[in-house]
Amino acid sequence: ISCPCALVISIPLSFFAGIGGASNAGVLVKGSNYLETLSQTDYVVFDKTGTLTQGVFEVVGIHHNTIDEAKLIEYAASAHPISKSLQKAYGAELDRSRVHNIQEISGHGVTAEVDGHTVAAGNDKLMAKLGIPSVPCRQVGTIIHVALDGQYAGHILISDVVKPTAKEAIAALKKIGVEKTVMLTGDADAVAQQVAGELGIDQVYSQLLPADKVSRVDIWISVNSKYRTHKCILYNFSYF
């Protein structure tokens, strides 16, 4: 007479261990059937901002500057008081008594007087409007051109920062058998392609509104389902 005790005990214990381990990592699984479905996943679809990236914009570069980098950041942060990324890069409390005549030019940027100097901080449209030749940036991100007393002083590159564990997570998913990773984002295609290339994402859909992301997932699943049944996991979609 034999008894399959090891089999009967090991299966539920495996589920308990898996669910418990996931909860320790901050992932809640409703039950063993959902955990089993996860093991059969073929495709994983990610939202970009806040999932693969930190969702916090930071200064990642200063280029073609004609004055000291710290001074360029100081002037830009002083003229642009609502830019948290510039304030963070400056790293100190700004003396607002030094700043006068702040003017916001919609869709262009701002101008102000800082320590008696005329500072302009904004996009290339602002530089063109002021008749100041600017130097284009070959990297992807938000570009803030800065001019001081009518002369070009350099530009500051601001970008969303990729999460340090994102690339490792994508690689781990592929290692355990996930066939394709997909990223959806409202960002411009150049930004999306840069992030996808850095992380090893297989497919990208960019310049999407929130509703477009839902539609894209529906279309994408229906098209692929014509050929075979896929199980798809979606990350960071409030709709679902």
**Strand-pair partners of 134:** none
Single out the residue of 164, 195, 190 nearest to residue 47, CA to CA. 195
- For residue 160, indicate whether it is catalytic: no
Q: What are phi and psi of 73, to 5 degrees?
A: -65, -40
- Please report which helix (H) or strand (E) contains residue 55, including its range: strand 53-63
Which among 42, 47, 115, 160 is annotated as catalytic? 47
Distance, in Å, from the CA atom of 40 to the CA atom of 211, rounded to the nearest integer, reads: 28
What number of other Cβ atoms are within 10 A of residue 157's Cβ? 17
> Over 168-187, what HEC string results?
HHHHHHHHCCCCEEEEECCC
- Residues that are catalytic: 47
